[in-house]
Amino acid sequence: MRARTARARERSLRIAVAVALGALAAIGPFVAGPVTGGAGAVVGAIVAALLLTGLAVAVWPYDWSAAEGRHRELEAIWRELRGDADAFVPWERYTAWAEPAGSQVKLSLITCGPRAGGPPPSPSPYSLQVVRRLSAEDQEAAAEAMEELRAEARRRELEARRRHEQDQVDAEQAAHDMTMQEIDERAAADVAAREEELRRELAAQEEAEQKSQAEAVARALRRQ
């Protein structure tokens, strides 16, 4: 029902826009010349009319596929049940839904996948899972089951949010640990480089002392 209403509303809007574009395309070439008084304006109007005709064809109503119809149906239900339907959150959200199924009432859990903004992802972010079927005659049991399902939806959504927040904390901690590791590695490399330079300086100093001692011994020997 909701999908049909949305489809009818979209169809009416598309027809109105297409008719308006077609009307502009039809009258444009005839009024361009008298208004502007130039032949070039008529040519431009004809080109514009062709573009408007193409747009009119593009916006003309088309038949929804089964997948799009299912998406529109669940989206309509979601908007009916959730005041924050348009919110963009990076975790899964849930809501409980009840609908007639012959002599029974069918209870379902609708899931909306993570959304980061922009147009809805493809495939649809919405999914529906039938949880229970109850006799329509036992209204008390049906009401109790619906409350339990609502509580389950809230619990799942809270857990999904906590998992996302924990993932963020873990990612930040991992990034911090990596940064600290890089700092430690750079510090260790600097210490190793300084130690190597000190060893070279000591070796050079020791070599110079040995040369000086050898020269002194050689001079002493020559004086003997």
pLDDT in tens, 186-224: 999 999 999 999 999 898 898 888 888 888 777 877 776
Provide the mean pLDDT of the chain.
79
* SS3 assignment, position 118: coil
Rounded-to-integer distance, Cα 209 and Cα 196, Å: 20
Least confident of 16-30, 63-77, 176-190: 16-30
pLDDT given at position 157:
96
Half-sphere exposure of 9 (CA within 13 A, CB side): 8
pLDDT given at position 55:
60
> Is 3 a residue whose pLDDT tops 50?
no
Cite the DSSP H helix spans in the chain: 2-36, 39-59, 66-81, 139-223
What confidence category does residue 179 fall into, taking pLDDT thresholds of 50, 70 and 90?
very high
pLDDT, tens digit (0-9, with 9 covering 90-100), for 45-74: 555 655 655 665 555 555 667 777 788 889
What confidence category does residue 163 fall into, taking pLDDT thresholds of 50, 70 and 90?
very high
Q: State which H helix or E strand residue 104 sits in.
A: strand 104-112
Rounded-to-integer distance, Cα 193 and Cα 172, Å: 31
DSSP 8-state code for residue 60:
S
% of the chain at pLDDT higher than 70: 68
Residue 214 or residue 44, greater confidence: 214
